Amino acid sequence: MSTYSRRRFLNQLLGGTAAAVALPTALAADEGRSRWGALLREARSFTAGDPGDESFWRLVKEQFPLRDGLILMNAANLCPSPFPVQQAVFRFTRDVDADASFQNRAKFDELRESARAALAEYVGAGVDEIAITRNTSEGNNTVINGLDLGRGDEVVIWDQNHPTANVAWDVRADRYGYRVVRVATPPSPSSADELIEPFADAITPNTRVLAFSHFSNVSGVALPAKRLCAIARARGTLTLVDGAQSFGAVRLDLHDMGCDFFTASAHKWFVGPKEAGLLYVSRERAADLWPSDVGVGWEGAKDAGARKFETLGQRDDAAVVSMGTTVVFHESIGVDRIEGRVRQLSATLKHRLEDRVPGVRFHTPRDPGLSAGVVVFDPSVADVAEAFGRLYADHGVAGAPRGGEFSGIRLCPHIYNTLEDVERAANAVAELK
């Protein structure tokens, strides 16, 4: 967010009727203010490109209410929110519960637009191209339900998409008669070209949509989204990019990416409020996409770009406007610094696992250009489910089990992890034998 935009957002949180729920008062406890203040002072002292040392990242970790002894590496599924975001949600919620009148709640209209503007700048989009949804699944289904597709049309999808996204395409295809084509990429890709070729080969003159995950939650493979979107656009094919594993983990510029639609959740790498998400609909596609939900505010939203996709009835105003608070949190640390840290932690984890776990096999590419924060590996044990259970019960390491083609364990370190956490996690995996 630009300095002007950040200042404007904070001023709106601090001013007028919003004073009771201002961001700084979310840190009313002296201890909380001390931690947050120290983090801000440290972050502001950095020069461009300075990633910060471990003392800085320990300050970042202190912003999260993690249980002592827990090594949480499950960012691909669910992340905790930092204290500033938590307290913003709590205070906005209490504000509504204290006075649920139309008069008191009127302030949320302006705060929601401020949050939308913050999100738009954060992902490199126009304000009219952003809808604040409830999660990635809702965004995906809004696009899947809203396109006019029928017999003779094709949709190309990645077989490593989140299962619910692909099933949603299948359900609609059964109803409307179009064809869904699943694309498989090499299990151990060594270049971006290897990942692009299967999609390029699958697109035909009948292909209306190419739908893929930016980063796979199944294998950790990162697709070259900009190149895929360019290929699709050149062939007259729309693109839907599922950004559940990239939103909040890496810097995004959706205009530069060139996608038509982009979806994401706040509760993963963005470390934002629960049951909030983002749907990007490019300006040129908004008029052609039908809404799945038509609720209160439709008349005012129907000609206002992506806003027409968030007339969802009564919302959790606290979660919606705290999306903006989360952007402020990311920008305060530094978006590029966060991406660098995510990549540092995942690369270190791969190195440590390779050094300490004989026979370990990675489903996630070692090449940082083909992966990001998701690390999926086979620890070479007889019973993966049992090993996964012991990882948490005996060592306090929380990740996710994987089955099928990518059987193994998924660990996804994030900014609330330290390099010491990575060392401990790798040692814990080594003891699973």
Is there a contact between 244 and 265 (Cβ–Cβ < 8 Å)? yes
What pLDDT score was predicted for residue 3? 45
- Give the residue-averaged pLDDT of 259-282: 98
**Is the confidence at residue 4, as pLDDT, over 50?**
no
What pLDDT score was predicted for residue 31? 40
242 beta partners: 213, 263
Helix (H) or strand (E) holding 211: strand 207-213
Name the strands in the sheet holding 375-378, side by side, starting at the edge strand that comes first in the sequence. Answer: 361-362, 375-378, 408-411, 400-402
**Is the confidence at residue 19, as pLDDT, over 60?**
no
Task: Give the residue, 3 or 404, on which the prediction is more confident.
Answer: 404
What pLDDT score was predicted for residue 8? 52
- Give the residue-averaged pLDDT of 82-91: 96
- Structural domains of the chain in order of their starting residue, each with its CATH number: 336-430 (3.90.1150.10)
- Give the residue-averaged pLDDT of 107-128: 97
For residue 160, what are the contacts with CB-CB under 8 A and spacing of at least 6? 185, 213, 216, 218, 219, 221
Query: Residue 143 and residue 62: Cα distance in Å, rounded?
Result: 38
What pLDDT score was predicted for residue 38? 86
What pLDDT score was predicted for residue 40? 85
Helix (H) or strand (E) holding 133: strand 130-133
Query: Residue 399 and residue 128: Cα distance in Å, rounded?
Result: 37
- Grade residue 297 by pLDDT with cuts at 50, 70 and 90: confident
Q: What is the number of residues in the chain?
A: 433
**Is the confidence at residue 34, as pLDDT, over 90?**
no
- Give the residue-averaged pLDDT of 371-386: 94
Is there a contact between 71 and 424 (Cβ–Cβ < 8 Å)? yes
**Token pair of 384 as six digits:** 């993966």
Percentage of the chain with pLDDT > 70? 92
The angle at the Cα of 289, spanning 279 to 226, to the nearest 5 degrees, equals 55
Q: What is the pLDDT of residues 207-257, one digit of tens each?
A: 999 999 999 999 999 999 999 999 999 999 999 999 999 999 999 999 999
Is there a contact between 139 and 278 (Cβ–Cβ < 8 Å)? yes
Q: Regarding beta strands 71-72 and 397-398, do their DSSP bridges make them parallel or antiparallel, or are they unpaired?
A: parallel
Query: Residue 71 and residue 127: Cα distance in Å, rounded?
Result: 37
Query: Residue 426 and residue 347: Cα distance in Å, rounded?
Result: 12
Query: Residue 390 and residue 400: Cα distance in Å, rounded?
Result: 12
Is there a contact between 185 and 195 (Cβ–Cβ < 8 Å)? yes
What pLDDT score was predicted for residue 35? 77
The model carries a pTM of 0.93
**Is the confidence at residue 36, as pLDDT, over 90?**
no
Please state, rounded to an integer, the average pLDDT across all residues of the chain: 91
DSSP letters, 290-317, are PPS---TTHHHHTTSGGGGGG--SS--H
Q: What is the pLDDT of residues 178-200, one digit of tens each?
A: 999 999 999 989 999 999 999 99
Is there a contact between 232 and 210 (Cβ–Cβ < 8 Å)? yes
What pLDDT score was predicted for residue 186? 95
Is there a contact between 417 and 71 (Cβ–Cβ < 8 Å)? yes
